[in-house]
Amino acid sequence: MLREQTRPDFSVGKGSLDGRIRDEGTATERFSLDDAKIIYNFPFNDLLFQAQSVHRENFDPNAVQISRLLSIKTGGCAEDCGYCSQSARSPTGLKASRLMMVEKVLAEASKAKAEGASRYCMGAAWRSPKDRDMDTLVAMVEGVKALGLETCMTLGMLSPDQAATLAGAGLDYYNHNIDTSEEFYPQVITTRTFADRLETLANVRDAGMKVCAGGILGMGETTDDRISMLVTLANLPEPPESVPINMLIPIPGSRLANAEPVDPIEFVRTIALARILMPRTHVRLSAGRTQMSDEMQALCFFAGANSIFSGDTLLTAENPGEDHDAALFRRLGLKPMDMGLSQ
């Protein structure tokens, strides 16, 4: 048993921390940065034990939700995100493409379902979608849902009207990562603000869709920045249903091409903290899995990660193929999450 003087008082029932979470109806902040730092800095074994305990209270510990991500419009983005291969401001050599045809998207979605995906995510390299593209996007959502898949899109910033249109089409999830802490954010992106990110998340939630929002590790941020990012997400009026945690893939030509790799143990600690702060959220191992050993991924699953992207590519980056993931799942005794049990 952990010594009481070294940690906050935990209660994993309903995923709360005794004395740390206040009723949502009476307070907007449920976690302080200091509380989260205490948790993050537990001895590693104690942190993973606590994260796994919380995970088991809320999920099947051996089930992993499988998503597939398709780039429906690649390159030419007006934003200057320092990590991204698709920014028109960075000489990454990526050519811009037009918005994909609906029929092509549905063919790829059908293939993804046959290969075990339960959620289909569609991403476009835009600052925000143009109104002229909304009918096509609606057709994609409706078509993918008709295949029996959950739907997700990431299209940049959304206005309230655009969010309402996508929600009306049946879009289940909208992804809009906050990327890092509010303090470090200007070092990564200058073409939009941290507040802009939060405004889109509020528009998505107000429209009735589920929120997918996470961040990227390894951009030069501090440990406190990583903790602050997770505290921001956990303290939203309603925490995201999905939180992707990405490991930076250094892209030649991007501003972060020479960033120092994140320490694997620090990455696992971040996964564990996300699980503890957001007990009922899907925590996804996202970009960067090709740079992770099987053992590192196994630790992440033990720490509470329970979602991955499958397929050989992740937008424009490499991703472990289905054969590798299937072999890893067999070694670990993991199974794809039943869609009926998915949040």
Amino acid, single-letter form, for residue 17: L
> Does 320 or 292 have the greater pLDDT score?
292
Buried-exposed string 96-107: b where 16+ CB fall within 10 A, e elsewhere:
eeebbebeebbe
Asked if 81 is an active-site residue, the reply is yes
Report how far residue 298's alpha carbon sits from residue 302's, in angstroms, rounded to the nearest whole number: 6
pLDDT tens digits, 306-318: 999 876 555 545 6
Cβ-Cβ contacts under 8 Å for 183 (sequence gap 6 or more): 225, 228
Place of tokens 């075990």: 116
The answer to whether the CB of 92 falls within 8 A of the CB of 253 is yes
* pLDDT, mean of residues 257-274: 92
DSSP assignment, residue 288? T
DSSP assignment, residue 130? -
Here the tokens at position 252 are 């030649």
Asked if 284 is an active-site residue, the reply is yes
pLDDT tens digits, 24-35: 333 445 889 999
Here the tokens at position 271 are 């996964």
Report how far residue 105's alpha carbon sits from residue 122's, in angstroms, rounded to the nearest whole number: 9
Question: Which residue among 119, 152, 197, 289 is the active-site one?
Answer: 152
Question: Which residue among 119, 121, 226, 269 is the active-site one?
Answer: 121
For the entire predicted model, the pTM comes to 0.86
The answer to whether the CB of 256 falls within 8 A of the CB of 248 is yes
> What residues pair up with 150 in beta bridges, in sequence order?
119
Asked if 300 is an active-site residue, the reply is no
* pLDDT, mean of residues 183-208: 94
The answer to whether the CB of 166 falls within 8 A of the CB of 158 is yes
> What residues pair up with 11 in beta bridges, in sequence order?
16
Say if residue 341's pLDDT is above 70: no
Asked if 84 is an active-site residue, the reply is yes
Report how far residue 55's alpha carbon sits from residue 226's, in angstroms, rounded to the nearest whole number: 20
